[in-house]
Structure 1
Amino acid sequence: MSLPPGFLDELRSRTSLSQVVGRKVIWDTRKSNQGKGDMWAPCPFHQEKTASFHVDDRKGFYYCFGCHAKGDAISFVRETENVEFIEAIRILAAEAGMTMPERDPQAQAKADRRTQLAEVMEIAVKHFRLALKTAAGSGARDYLDRRGLKEATQDRFEIGFAPDAWQGLWDHLKSRNVADELILGCGLAKPSTKGGKPYDTFRNRIMFPIRDARGRCIAFGGRAMDPNDNAKYLNSPETELFDKSRTLYHYGPAREAAGKGQPLIVAEGYMDVIALVEGGFGAAVAPLGTAVTETQLQMMWRLADEPVIALDGDAAGLRAAHRVIDLALPLLEAGKSLRFALMPEGKDPDDLIRAEGTAALQKLVDAAQPMVQLLWQNEIEGRSFDSPERRAALDKALRDKIKLIRDASIRGHYGQAIKDLRWQLFNPQRASHAPRRTGGRWQPPPASAMPATKSSLLVAAGDEAQMQLRTGVILASLIATPEVCEEFEAAIETLDCPNPDHARLRDLILRHADAGPETLRTQISEAMGQESLEKLRALPHVALAPPVRNPGDAGIARQTIAEELAKIEAERGLSAEISEAAEDIVGVADEAVTWRLQQAAEARNRAIRSQQEDKAEYDLGDNGARINRGEREQFHALLDKITSSKPGR
């Protein structure tokens, strides 16, 4: 059976030899370098214990240094599966998603025709190259000079020029006795709709030859010289030689550069690729004016495990990046992914290199983001998640994306990465102190004191400790009975909270108190974690507070909150008077200063002891202890009753 030309090349480009061989061997991980496609294993063709069987995944060949077996993916399947040549191709084609061609008695004729078409394309390359050096190409040369393309660069990429003539290339090819059907078959000319001679496809354009993996010119890309032209860039139409969805510009040279360890960079256009190559990034390719296809993605992964997608830093570039992500998610495999280097807004790789040099681009390539980071950024960019419904919508969108991943292991790792990013978004302070994995073990955060510790009761003293105790009681009372918050809203808004956690609780209470106790507690748990409430309630001075012991009792809550606010206000008043008095003493001191301090101190003591005139509920005992007045009266009544019931009384 004859196979159509190019079928085997396509099959080899879409087949990973290491995957084919990996089904039959166990790789030696110490000796192999998967990133470079350099794999070693015990030979499957003879008995051995050492890893002498070598697979060069980039070149697509294997060799055993023991038994000297060698070949490619086709020969490996033939030997290991004991099948004929065509059957081995059929097996590999099924795995690569390619349809086996039917028997075609005209296959040799087709092969001859493709060879003829390729020869015509080479004639066109030379014609365009010569035209660039003529007087007609002076404008094109000036443009290339302004873009910084030296003559050596033009020669390297075989850049040419199509003059502004209707039949310039057609007449040249006819003078070389090229048949009409071959010119039209190459896509170099189009039939006239008016019955005249066919006319050239490319006119007044800078020409970029597009070559396949074997180095044959299969198409052209033309850049318009007329700024008013409807198509700035124009590719050859699809032909027997050219399928743009299966072609990458500069693929052959990029394969060689990637094999030497250079990062594979995927840009958007010809000029970007040329600028990258001239800047030292030899493994640069570009799709041909369309979105990246699955075949092109597989071609990239043949060259590198993690191609770097370098797109323009504008809205269109971001949209293109997310289209690539949607395409890649179902195709991800262990070790095969993408990274994204987003250019500064309004610039492409060519602009960046010319403006800031190759070091600027190298920095972006080194800092390229993993795919999961860009996926996450797309879902949260410019959005607010201040309600449970919005957070649920975020979770659903991300779950739908992750479900596209077919590989269960990668899907699990993506899920964990999303959880980590979600934690950082909704718990920024706590996430900064989360344990970190170092050397395979989870390590605690640095031992530096956190803000909450610095302001906690462990290090607070005197009045500051008292303030924290009082704010804790106020906040716990409001959480237990949020319906009273409105009455104290103004005072709560100005409440000074030395403890950062108290400050966050205060803000959440003010925002969600009117929704009821359950909703308030839910919001606090989502924002700060359930342990934040448990930690607050566990403090002894809070646990003993009447509103906490009797949640929902508005009367007790009002009384407690009002009392604690009064104490705080009295403390503030005393501190203010002391500060002002200190300033006055520096000047002229008189009895007025002493009187003011005395009044402030008495007000503070009354607030602390709750002895506000006849409203006080407590008396002081002989030892200074506070005694509940009602309980004291009941005790005396009981004593009187016991005494009066004794005999003889």
Structure 2
Amino acid sequence: MSLPPGFLDELRSRASLADVAGRKVIWDRRKSNQARGDMWAPCPFHQEKTASFHVDDRKGFYYCFGCHAKGDVITFVRETENVDFMEAVRILAAQAGMEMPDRDPQAQAKADRRTRLAEVMEDAVRHFRMQLSTAAGAAARDYLAGRGLDDPTLDRFEIGFAPDAWRGLLDHLRGKGIDDDTILAAGLARTGRNGGPPYDTFRGRVMFPIRDARGRCIAFGGRAMAPEADAKYLNSPDTDLFDKSRTLYNHGPARQAAGKGQTLIVAEGYMDVIALAAAGFDAAVAPLGTAVTEHQLQLLWRMADEPVIALDGDTAGLRAAHRVIDLALPLLEAGKSLRFALMPPGKDPDDLIREGGPAAMQGQIDAALPMVQLLWRRETEGRAFDSPERRAALDKALREHLGRIRDASIRAHYGQVIKELRWQLFNPRRAARQEGTGKGGARWRPVGVARPTTKSSLLVAAGDRAHDGLRRAVILATLVMTPDVTEEFETALEGLDCPDPEQARLRDLILRHWPEGAEGLRGRIVRQMGEDALEKLLSLPHVAITPAVRHPGDMETARLTMAEELAKLTAERGLAAEVSEAAEDLSGLADEAVTWRLGQAAEARNRALRSETQDGTEYDTGDNGARIRRDEREEFDALLDSITFSKPGR
């Protein structure tokens, strides 16, 4: 249904976001300013105790600084009520006292036709249900009982049976006064060849009604009872009611269950969905005989942020998972992704539940893989990378996949994860462990060996954030020289992220042994890390000139050095995180909140780094680029001035 121009603008102006959101949250009175429409509360979209959910009622937008949910009043109703766009508009219009606009005559006629077709489909549901209980349906009842479906489950999903007769349903509907054109339009009958009389679409099949999100029967799926049937499963043809690329089996009940917090599960077929629902997994849906489409994926994301794709544990199931990945990559948004639960080989969810019960299925859901992990396995599992060419081919394939992700922030995060996975795959230590294993020896070997000085370089260990590695070196050296200060900064040291293994090991030794004093700690380090470990750390130029290292045991100097370097690390990370989030927000609903957050983060970073500017009062830069203490340089210059050089002949 299309809405007339200006309707949504008027709706947004009438429906106060603060009033609508106020039905779902409790405003923080100390932080909120109701007169200015500046409202704060704990976020309704994630569990928290602090008031990070902000509503700007004058502009009509909300933003959560915790989970980054954002939108307008229509988006808020859609997300909190778990409904589609038009339903959210209807809810708000009723609350605002606005009437939904009338449809034009042509649209009304089409709506009336769809209503009539839906009524015919309900007649067919009742007919098929009745046929299941007849003598003709005995084989179908036995089949369903063998699949573990009891009477309450049959009633819940309205499962029926179409006898193997050419015009059983057709004659039944004709007897109710329904004309052939309507029956054909509903997809319940087909025209005979060469203009022959129509006949039933479904014959000799167990029947599964397919309902839309509003609960109307719009199509059927039929499972053949005869092994020699042309198609094991047959769906209704596309009609004015039914488009299989835009429909999900069990959509309405699954949406309600997902809205109550259940995990949304996407299975392959009707029986999987029915088995899942019977086992308590009510938020289960399935595509209708085809691979998941873009429209179906959007339907899934409207119901849940991270649906779990539960596929059969065979080659076909894995191929289906790969097709879903290819479809989803360009569509990813912040907070919208997929996870994949791959069943054991030869099993589907129905098999797994019958053999191991709901607990077995829950275990698979809990172990579901993030999409990036399955993407990595797709490109690497079972392959050898023992040549530069093969490695280059892997890099090319991964770059192509990443290039299809439109969201810059998500693309960056995917790149970081894949970078880490790649490092693990090509880590020389891993290669050494694998050498001589597998067919023909190692699966791969390092192409070249780095120089020892290069491998130990903090610049290499730190990667893109080299300056962070330098700061960590100063922190660790300060604690080695004055370990008594560790107690004041123990919590910060425990949370210090050290990608470099040597730095991480040194951090752990300091945490365990600092009470032993400077000599005891340094002795531990030498015994466990080698005699050159401390020498390498303390001989680094930027470490050697640090006052806390030059004056060991000076508690005040060590305390100031620790506080300063930790503050700089925190400020750098905070600014980087805000810039990344701002890049995402600027592609969506951007407002002054984005620039305010960036300004605050930048100011925090500038305050933390301001001491570097102040260092100019204590250090000068020599001709060779090294820093030298200003007081020492002045003393040296004064010494030179005091030396009298005699002229020749005097």
TM-score in terms of structure 1 length:
0.57
- Separation (CA, whole Å) in 2 of partners of 1:380 and 1:293: 26
- Separation (CA, whole Å) in 2 of partners of 1:351 and 1:27: 51
Change (3 A) 1:194 1:392: closer
What's the counterpart of residue 601 of structure 1? none
What does 1:306-455 align with in structure 2 at a 5 Å threshold? 306-427=306-427, 429=429, 441-442=496-497, 444=504
Can you give the 5+ residue segments of structure 1 that lack an aligned partner in the other structure? 9-16, 63-70, 90-102, 449-455, 462-649
- Separation (CA, whole Å) in 1 of partners of 2:60 and 2:226: 68
Change (3 A) 1:320 1:166: same
- Please state whether the residue corresponding to 1:173 is helix, strand or coil: helix
The letter for the 1-side match of 2:364 is L
Asked if 2 retains the 8 angstrom alpha-carbon contact of 1:210 and 1:218, the reply is yes
Change (3 A) 1:26 1:362: farther
What does 1:76-87 align with in structure 2 at a 5 Å threshold? none
2:57 to 44, 67, 79: 44
Task: Kindly state the Cα deviation for residue 153 of structure 1 after the two structures are TM-superposed.
Answer: 0.3
- Separation (CA, whole Å) in 2 of partners of 1:151 and 1:135: 17
The letter for the 2-side match of 1:400 is E
What's the counterpart of residue 152 of structure 2? 152
Change (3 A) 1:79 1:411: farther
Percent of aligned pairs with the same residue?
Answer: 64
- Please state whether the residue corresponding to 1:166 is helix, strand or coil: coil
1:57 to 79, 82, 85: 79
The letter for the 1-side match of 2:497 is W
What's the counterpart of residue 242 of structure 1? 242
Q: Does 1:32 align with 2:44?
A: yes
- Please state whether the residue corresponding to 2:344 is helix, strand or coil: coil
Structure 1 stretch 251-260 or stretch 108-117: which is displaced more?
108-117
Task: Kindly state the Cα deviation for residue 228 of structure 1 after the two structures are TM-superposed.
Answer: 1.3
- Output one character per residue of 1:219-275: Cα deviation in whole Å (capped at 9) or x when no partner: 000000011112000000000000000000000000000011000000000000000
- Separation (CA, whole Å) in 2 of partners of 1:377 and 1:124: 46
Task: Kindly state the Cα deviation for residue 27 of structure 1 after the two structures are TM-superposed.
Answer: 9.2
- Separation (CA, whole Å) in 2 of partners of 1:35 and 1:222: 43
Asked if 2 retains the 8 angstrom alpha-carbon contact of 1:41 and 1:50, the reply is yes
Task: Kindly state the Cα deviation for residue 306 of structure 1 after the two structures are TM-superposed.
Answer: 0.3
Asked if 2 retains the 8 angstrom alpha-carbon contact of 1:118 and 1:217, the reply is yes
1:72 to 88, 97, 101: 88
Change (3 A) 1:413 1:199: same
- Separation (CA, whole Å) in 2 of partners of 1:132 and 1:43: 58
Asked if 2 retains the 8 angstrom alpha-carbon contact of 1:35 and 1:304, the reply is no
What's the counterpart of residue 189 of structure 2? 189
Asked if 2 retains the 8 angstrom alpha-carbon contact of 1:301 and 1:336, the reply is yes
Change (3 A) 1:139 1:226: same
- Separation (CA, whole Å) in 2 of partners of 1:367 and 1:129: 39
Task: Kindly state the Cα deviation for residue 104 of structure 1 after the two structures are TM-superposed.
Answer: 6.0
CA RMSD of aligned residues (A): 4.3
- Output one character per residue of 1:294-325: Cα deviation in whole Å (capped at 9) or x when no partner: 11001000111000000011111111101111
Asked if 2 retains the 8 angstrom alpha-carbon contact of 1:2 and 1:104, the reply is no
Change (3 A) 1:167 1:48: closer
- Separation (CA, whole Å) in 2 of partners of 1:295 and 1:418: 28
Change (3 A) 1:392 1:49: closer
What's the counterpart of residue 164 of structure 1? 164
Task: Kindly state the Cα deviation for residue 201 of structure 1 after the two structures are TM-superposed.
Answer: 0.3
What's the counterpart of residue 296 of structure 1? 296
Change (3 A) 1:134 1:75: closer
- Output one character per residue of 1:187-221: Cα deviation in whole Å (capped at 9) or x when no partner: 00001125543110000000000000110000000
Change (3 A) 1:294 1:2: closer
- Separation (CA, whole Å) in 1 of partners of 2:322 and 2:60: 49
Asked if 1 retains the 8 angstrom alpha-carbon contact of 2:325 and 2:375, the reply is yes
Change (3 A) 1:154 1:439: farther
What's the counterpart of residue 126 of structure 2? 126
Change (3 A) 1:84 1:388: farther
Change (3 A) 1:424 1:198: same
The letter for the 1-side match of 2:265 is I
Asked if 2 retains the 8 angstrom alpha-carbon contact of 1:3 and 1:107, the reply is no
Asked if 2 retains the 8 angstrom alpha-carbon contact of 1:372 and 1:414, the reply is yes
What's the counterpart of residue 209 of structure 1? 209
The letter for the 1-side match of 2:149 is L
Q: Does 1:274 align with 2:286?
A: no
- Separation (CA, whole Å) in 1 of partners of 2:145 and 2:81: 37
- Separation (CA, whole Å) in 2 of partners of 1:382 and 1:55: 47
Task: Kindly state the Cα deviation for residue 105 of structure 1 after the two structures are TM-superposed.
Answer: 3.9
The letter for the 2-side match of 1:409 is S
Change (3 A) 1:26 1:350: farther
Change (3 A) 1:56 1:198: closer
Change (3 A) 1:342 1:49: closer
Asked if 1 retains the 8 angstrom alpha-carbon contact of 2:205 and 2:224, the reply is yes
Q: Does 1:173 align with 2:173?
A: yes
- Output one character per residue of 1:362-395: Cα deviation in whole Å (capped at 9) or x when no partner: 0110010000000000000111001111111101
What's the counterpart of residue 198 of structure 2? 198
- Separation (CA, whole Å) in 2 of partners of 1:141 and 1:49: 53
The letter for the 2-side match of 1:31 is C
Asked if 1 retains the 8 angstrom alpha-carbon contact of 2:93 and 2:99, the reply is no
Task: Kindly state the Cα deviation for residue 425 of structure 1 after the two structures are TM-superposed.
Answer: 1.0
TM-score in terms of structure 2 length:
0.57
- Separation (CA, whole Å) in 1 of partners of 2:527 and 2:302: 60
The letter for the 1-side match of 2:288 is L
- Separation (CA, whole Å) in 1 of partners of 2:494 and 2:261: 26
- Separation (CA, whole Å) in 2 of partners of 1:354 and 1:274: 12
- Separation (CA, whole Å) in 1 of partners of 2:142 and 2:359: 27
Asked if 2 retains the 8 angstrom alpha-carbon contact of 1:259 and 1:303, the reply is yes
- Please state whether the residue corresponding to 2:193 is helix, strand or coil: coil
- Output one character per residue of 1:532-572: Cα deviation in whole Å (capped at 9) or x when no partner: xxxxxxxxxxxxxxxxxxxxxxxxxxxxxxxxxxxxxxxxx
Change (3 A) 1:441 1:154: farther
- Please state whether the residue corresponding to 1:106 is helix, strand or coil: helix
Task: Kindly state the Cα deviation for residue 176 of structure 1 after the two structures are TM-superposed.
Answer: 0.5
Asked if 1 retains the 8 angstrom alpha-carbon contact of 2:82 and 2:259, the reply is no
Asked if 2 retains the 8 angstrom alpha-carbon contact of 1:40 and 1:55, the reply is no
Change (3 A) 1:414 1:142: same
* Rg comparison, structure with higher value: 1
What does 1:548-627 align with in structure 2 at a 5 Å threshold? none
- Please state whether the residue corresponding to 1:155 is helix, strand or coil: helix
The letter for the 1-side match of 2:121 is M
Asked if 2 retains the 8 angstrom alpha-carbon contact of 1:167 and 1:200, the reply is yes
